[in-house]
Structure 1
Amino acid sequence: MSAGLSAAKTRAALRTSARVSGELLLILVMLAVTLWVLGRMWSVVWPLLVGLLLTTLTWPPARFLRRHGWRPALAATVVTVAFLLVVLGIVALIAVPMSSQTDELTDGVVEGIQRLREWAAGPPLNIGDDEITGAMDSAVARIQDSVGSITTAVATGVGAVVNGLITAVLGVFLMFFFLKDGPRFLPWLARQLPGRLATDVPVVALRGWETLGSFVRSQALVGLLDAVFIGLGLWILGVPLVLPLAVLTFVSAFVPIVGALFAGFVAVLIALVSNGLTDALIVLAIIVVVQQLEGNVFQPILQSRGLGLHAAVILLAVTLGGSLSGIVGSLLAVPFAALIAVVWTYVREQLSERPEATATADG
């Protein structure tokens, strides 16, 4: 004979479920409000994040100078100026060789277009000049009909570039102040917070800072691997501008998805106009293989070791960030997930029973 359900246990289970559901709902509402506030303050939050990421990259030399007796302001100034010089040097390393070979590349582009036309005119396509001209006329007509949309898109792009430059300038200024006054921030923060928060928040902030440093270092290592492998392939094939293309590949590694696509497009284009279609396809294959190794092997393994996150969590975080906020979401997804893991680990440590406390209770 089967026993019936206990009314008291059922009511208790329902009350527990209702209480847990209400608490989860409050947490979700708080999270939604926090994200909404961050969205409203994004013009301030984004430069702050850029400044923090740049500071994690430049803090080791600043710390070295401070430990050898340099004043904080002087050390921060020297490191900031050196950082700007390195950035300008990278830009010059990419731009100068390319500008010196502009005529050659332009002639190569024209020759490549002519080759494509000749290939299209032959079998199996058999596309004549009249058809190509008609297609070009149709394309020009569509462009003329879409002048308004193109103007809007250009204006939006120019606005995005301007906002990016402003964000970069603010990030560099914030980097200088973080380098100069960073070590004094946590003691100051501890004095401003009451009670338990004066201990907990600085500890979590310090762990978050170390996590951001691990993220930047792992991303730089991934970019270096990309630059070495792709640059080696370009050098073997005899593609010109190997060094600028390798530097461009390294720098673009810090911008997920779009950076890799842009660097790969430039490399394939230069291979096409200088070496021909066969070498361009080989370069494309090399870039695809390296990018697959980066996205599925190098980056998850390096970041999982440095950030304490499983490789699958990193892949899911990048996918979710990209679907929610595009490029910016992809860029910030991994460090944001790592910071959440830092907070969760600290909370779990504080809520777990310590061995000495368990031993006392047993005794």
Structure 2
Amino acid sequence: MPVLSTARSRTAVRTAARLSAEMLLILLMTAVTLWILGKMWSVVWPLTVALLITTLTWPPARFLRRHGWKPALAAATVTVAFLLLAAGILVGIAVPVAAQSDELADGVVDGIQQLRDWAAGPPLNIGDDQITSAIDSAVAKLQSSIGDIVNATVTGVGTIVNAVVVTVLALFLMFFFLKDGPRFLPWLTRQVPGRLARDLPEVAGRAWNTLGAFVRSQAFVGLLDAVFIGLGLWIVGVPLVLPLAVLTFVTAFVPIVGALFAGFVAVLIALVFKGLTSALIVLGIIVLVQQLEGNVFQPMVQSRGLGLHAAVVLLAVTLGGSLAGIVGSLLAVPVAAVLATAWDYVREQLSDPDPPDEQAVLLPGE
């Protein structure tokens, strides 16, 4: 039986200890970086939103600049056009809904009555006295929780105000990015010394291309969701198909919650206008499309556009959602792609040069 070498064992233990200490140092630096980002979140979040929006609006701004427009004029034109498009989307959703608000309210009442009639029949056989008792219990619980509701309302108002502030800041930042974006990399080159003057601009340029690929792929996936779900709603005969399709496309940029919200609205409208059977059919269509989108379309499109494996995309979304909720799910894939881009560049710089061709060093006659 072979005997362990004391010298080799000590070397192995020392190597493992050194690697463990280096890994702990890296984890510590990562934790400190995340803590600093958390303290600066009021600035980081608008900056991130502005960068994501700029990747969509930069192509038309670049087109105008190439055709002789001044940078400020091109940026202002694209910014105004983006605001008008966003306002048009909101109007396209709100106007048809407002026009049928009375019919929608009547449908809600009829839908509630249908649910009560269905609950009163077999197999549930829930009587009116049980429903009344449940309503009374709900009202009593609501009255006892009035303080929590007020606090939640105040928190919700604060969240809305914060969202408005973030949106305004993001729009201003988008304008400046569109106007002065091409100057950033030369400016960054002048600010850092030595090799960083070459490495940082290269990584930043690759990261920008990666963000653009992410936003374009997300928009494409949202368009697929809107087309297929809108087609299913049209076949079933649900009203407000166009607003629901637009809502599906817009909420596709907010993973998980966006799809649930758009699906809930579609099922509710199908219930109040077409009845329970149509609502169940719409629910089945939405579940099918969401399963195809989440497990097939999105991983395939994002893996091609971002250079990430489909499994990495799924794991990144899961990890981001568990760590930071909706925001984490939204930023998980682009962050993973940017990190992969930086790692690819580092690996390129640390790799040994390709070995010379063996045939080139063969002696004549060999």
Regarding TM over 0.5, the answer is: yes
TM superposition shift of 1:128: 2.1
| TM-score normalized with structure 2 length | 0.96
Deviations along 1:111-147, one digit per CA (max 9) or x if unpaired, are 1111111222223322222221121111100000000
Which amino acid in structure 2 is aligned with residue 210 of structure 1? N
Q: Which is further off, 175-184 or 111-120?
A: 111-120
2:313 maps to 1:314: yes
Aligned to 2:193, what secondary structure does the other structure show?
A: coil
Deviations along 1:80-109, one digit per CA (max 9) or x if unpaired, are 000000000000000000000000000000
Give the root-mean-square deviation of aligned CA atoms.
1.4
User: 2:190 & 2:134 partners in 1: Cα distance?
Assistant: 71
Aligned to 1:77: 76
Q: How does 1:142-181 map to 2 (within 5 A)?
A: 142-181=141-180
User: 1:357 & 1:96 partners in 2: Cα distance?
Assistant: 69
| TM-score normalized with structure 1 length | 0.97
Aligned to 1:345: 344
C-alpha spacing 1:357/1:325, structure 2 compared with 1 (3 Å): farther
Aligned to 2:37: 38
Pairs aligned (count): 360
Aligned to 1:199: 198
The answer for unaligned runs of 5 or more in structure 2 is none
Aligned to 1:15, what secondary structure does the other structure show?
A: helix
Deviations along 1:141-185, one digit per CA (max 9) or x if unpaired, are 000000011111111111111111111111111000000000000
Aligned to 1:241: 240
Q: How does 1:1-363 map to 2 (within 5 A)?
A: 2-355=1-354
Deviations along 1:284-318, one digit per CA (max 9) or x if unpaired, are 00000000001000000000000000111111110
Deviations along 1:296-354, one digit per CA (max 9) or x if unpaired, are 00000000000000111111110010011000000000000001101110000000011
Which amino acid in structure 2 is aligned with residue 239 of structure 1? V
User: 2:258 & 2:123 partners in 1: Cα distance?
Assistant: 36
User: 1:196 & 1:248 partners in 2: Cα distance?
Assistant: 47
**What percentage of aligned pairs have identical amino acids?**
74
TM superposition shift of 1:9: 1.4
Which amino acid in structure 2 is aligned with residue 136 of structure 1? I
User: 1:337 & 1:163 partners in 2: Cα distance?
Assistant: 26
TM superposition shift of 1:358: 9.5
Aligned to 2:202, what secondary structure does the other structure show?
A: helix
User: 1:290 & 1:309 partners in 2: Cα distance?
Assistant: 23
TM superposition shift of 1:27: 0.8
TM superposition shift of 1:357: 8.0
User: 1:97 & 1:207 partners in 2: Cα distance?
Assistant: 43
Which amino acid in structure 1 is aligned with residue 45 of structure 2? W
Q: Which is further off, 327-336 or 24-33?
A: 24-33
Deviations along 1:251-294, one digit per CA (max 9) or x if unpaired, are 00000011000100000000001111000000000000000001
The answer for unaligned runs of 5 or more in structure 1 is none
Which amino acid in structure 2 is aligned with residue 40 of structure 1? K
TM superposition shift of 1:201: 0.4
